[in-house]
């Protein structure tokens, strides 16, 4: 199965359709009058769909087991066609399009099985996805496409040339995947004055975000939070909470990190862990969603 461990959880919804076409009006009348020999077609087919959608990963090998938190089945009769509208919702890291299509197809197959004794000409048509929401593509239009960033690596060891930077490069890779232009990438020692000067300089140059990696731990030389917090206009606790919550689900040591998020005027400033995994996971936790902040900073309304 596709690796989704780096994704974060959102409300996912998918609506699928299947069309059952009968061959005579008497079949529709039997359904409406509840005179089909095998029982109530709509109720039993709905029950089959509810059972079937939960078994999707048992049938389709690439589908992830996930919590099905809502399933809705509706029927629309138009002449000799019965449309099955199947809705699935979950709060999870991947979508439920296949689950919705599978559920709709199970409902249609059960209808076929129940109706075949009284109608030999039944057909199943148009099993398809009608719409989905909650995935990455739903948020893309909420982000500005002209954003720039500076990446600052805070490390005495790396700045002295004793160690290669990987965390900063992981941050750059994530930014580039989100369409953010890298204006500058620099490595500096763990010095409060230098850290502050960089943030102020980038803000004055109009760079949209400054992302630090390193210096957020508990050692005596970890001073990035102490340097940045006094010069921030506003903290953004939600970003800090999201980073730690995401990380804590992956390692018990994330609670020891002192990540910081805030703004200097309209520039977003982030201080992330210095380990490669810590930086990468922190970026996965908040990007691309954090980019919506730039529309809000410019006065756009929340949806």
If residue 72 lies in a helix (H) or strand (E), which one and from where to where? Answer: strand 70-78
Q: Answer yes or no: 58 catalytic.
A: no
Find out whether 242 and 293 touch, Cβ atoms under 8 Å.
Answer: no
Q: What is the pLDDT of residues 259-286, one digit of tens each?
A: 999 999 999 999 999 999 999 999 999 9
pLDDT tens-place string over residues 140-171 = 656 678 899 999 999 999 999 999 999 999 99
Last residue of a domain, one of 100, 117, 138: 138
Domain co-membership, 220 together with 171: yes
Question: What H or E segment, with its residue span, contains residue 159?
Answer: helix 156-159
CATH number for the domain harbouring residue 274: 3.40.980.10
Among the three residues 90, 115, 138, which one is the final residue of a domain in this structure?
138
Residue 302 has pLDDT above 60, yes or no: no
- Domain extent, residue 250, equals 148-298
Residue 133 sits in a domain of what CATH number?
Answer: 3.30.70.640
The Cβ-side half-sphere exposure at 61, using a 13 Å CA radius, reads 0
Distance, CA of 81 to CA of 227 (rounded, Å): 68
Whether the pLDDT of residue 130 is over 80: the answer is yes
Residue 5 CB neighbour total at 10 angstroms: 9
Quick one: 191 and 132 in the same domain?
A: no
Inform me whether the pLDDT recorded for 301 exceeds 70: no
Q: How many domains does the chain have?
A: 2
State residue 303's pLDDT score: 53
Q: Looking at 3, 79, 113, 266, which residue is catalytic?
A: 113
What pLDDT does residue 143 have? 67
- Of residues 37 and 293, more confidently modeled: 37
- SS3 label, residue 209: strand
Same domain flag for 22 and 76: yes
Q: In what order do the strands lie in the sheet with 123-133?
A: 70-78, 81-92, 10-21, 123-133
How far from 236 is each of 5, 144, 215, 223, 270, CA to CA, in Å? 25, 19, 19, 19, 10
11, 191, 245 from 288: Cα distances, Å = 16, 30, 17
In a domain, 4, yes or no: no
Whether residue 298 is predicted with pLDDT greater than 90 in this model: the reply is no
Residue-by-residue DSSP string for 118-158: T-TT-EEEEEEEEEEESSGGGTGGGS-S--EEEEEEE-HHH
In a domain, 265, yes or no: yes
- 2 lies in a domain? no
What is the rounded distance in angstroms from the CA atom of residue 79 to the CA atom of residue 94? 37
161 shares a domain with 32: no
Which has the minimum average pLDDT: 88-97, 231-240, 286-295?
286-295
């Amino acid at each position: 199965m596709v690796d989704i461990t780096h994704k974060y959880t959102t409300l996912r919804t998918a609506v699928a359709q299947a069309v059952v076409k009968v061959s005579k009006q008497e079949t529709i009348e039997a359904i409406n009058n509840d005179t089909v020999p095998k029982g109530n077609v709509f109720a039993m087919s709905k029950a089959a769909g509810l059972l079937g959608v939960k078994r999707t990963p048992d049938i389709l090998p690439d589908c992830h087991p996930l919590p099905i938190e809502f399933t809705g089945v509706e029927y629309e009769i138009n002449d000799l066609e019965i449309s099955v509208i199947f809705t699935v919702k979950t709060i999870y890291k991947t979508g439920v399009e296949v689950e919705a299509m599978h559920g709709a197809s199970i409902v249609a197959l059960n209808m076929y099985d129940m109706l075949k004794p009284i109608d030999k000409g039944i057909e199943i048509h148009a099993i398809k996805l009608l719409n989905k929401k909650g995935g990455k593509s739903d948020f893309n239009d909420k982000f500005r496409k002209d954003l720039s960033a500076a990446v600052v690596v805070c490390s005495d060891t790396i700045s002295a040339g004793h160690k290669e930077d990987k965390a900063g490069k992981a941050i750059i890779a994530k930014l580039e995947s989100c369409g953010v232009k890298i204006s500058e990438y620099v490595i500096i020692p763990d010095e409060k004055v230098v850290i502050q000067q960089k943030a102020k300089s980038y803000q004055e140059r109009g760079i949209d975000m400054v992302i630090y990696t390193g210096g957020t731990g508990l050692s005596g030389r970890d001073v990035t939070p102490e340097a940045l917090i006094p010069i921030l206009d506003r903290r953004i606790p939600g970003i800090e909470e999201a980073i730690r919550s995401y990380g804590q689900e992956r390692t018990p040591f994330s609670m020891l990190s002192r990540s910081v998020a805030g703004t200097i005027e309209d520039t977003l400033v982030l201080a992330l862990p210095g380990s490669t995994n810590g930086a990468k996971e922190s970026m996965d936790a908040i990007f691309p969603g954090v980019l919506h902040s730039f529309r809000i900073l410019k006065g756009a309304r929340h949806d």
